[in-house]
Amino acid sequence: MNGGASPGFARGRRLRSTPALRRLTAQTRLSPADLVLPVFVKEGIDEPVPISAMPGVVQHTTESLRKAAHEAAEAGIGGLILFGIPSEKDPVGSQADAADGIVNVALRQLRSDVGDDLVLMADLCLCEYTDHGHCGLVTPAGVVDNDPTLDRYAAVAVAQARAGAHVIAPSGMMDGQVAAIRRALDGDGCTETPVLAYAAKYASGFYGPFREAAEGAPQFGDRSTYQMDPPNADEALREVRQDLAEGADAVMVKPALPYLDVVARVADAVDVPVSAYQVSGEYAMVEAAAARGWVDRRRAVLETLTAIRRAGAGTVLTYWAVEAARWLR
Per the annotation, the verdict on 89 as an active-site residue is no
Which of 194/255 has CB closer to ligand PBG?
255
Q: How far apart are CA 213 and CA 52, in angstroms?
A: 9
Which residue in 149, 160, 171, 318 binds ligand PBG (CB under 6 A)?
Answer: 171
Which residue in 40, 153, 202, 210 binds ligand PBG (CB under 6 A)?
Answer: 210
Any idea of the CA torsion for 8, 12, 16, 22, to the nearest 10 degrees? 110
Please tell me whether residue 61 binds ligand PBG under the rule CB under 6 A: no
DSSP state, residue 41: E
Which residue in 34, 97, 123, 287 binds ligand PBG (CB under 6 A)?
Answer: 123
CA atoms within 13 A on the CB side of 124: 35
Which of 123/239 has CB closer to ligand PBG?
123
Q: How far apart are CA 282 and CA 199, in angstroms?
A: 19
Please tell me whether residue 207 binds ligand PBG under the rule CB under 6 A: yes
Which of 210/259 has CB closer to ligand PBG?
210
Please tell me whether residue 276 binds ligand PBG under the rule CB under 6 A: no
Which of 74/145 has CB closer to ligand PBG?
145
Task: Give the per-residue contact string, 130-159, with ligand PBG (x = CB under 6 A; - = no).
Answer: -----x------------------------
- Residues 96, 157 contacting (CB under 8 angstroms): no
H helices of the chain, where? 11-15, 19-25, 62-75, 102-114, 146-163, 177-187, 208-213, 234-245, 260-269, 280-291, 297-311, 321-328
- Residues 83, 120 contacting (CB under 8 angstroms): no
Q: How far apart are CA 72 and CA 80, in angstroms?
A: 8
Among 39-47, 119-127, 141-149, 152-160, which window interacts with ligand PBG (CB under 6 A)?
Answer: 119-127
- Residues 327, 298 contacting (CB under 8 angstroms): yes
Which of 3/91 has CB closer to ligand PBG?
91
Q: How far apart are CA 73 and CA 175, in angstroms?
A: 35
Per the annotation, the verdict on 67 as an active-site residue is no
Which residue in 279, 284, 301, 321 binds ligand PBG (CB under 6 A)?
Answer: 279
Among 4-12, 123-131, 146-154, 159-167, which window interacts with ligand PBG (CB under 6 A)?
Answer: 123-131
Binding region for ligand PBG (CB under 6 A): 123, 125, 127, 135, 171-172, 207, 210, 223, 279-280
Catalytic residues: 201, 254
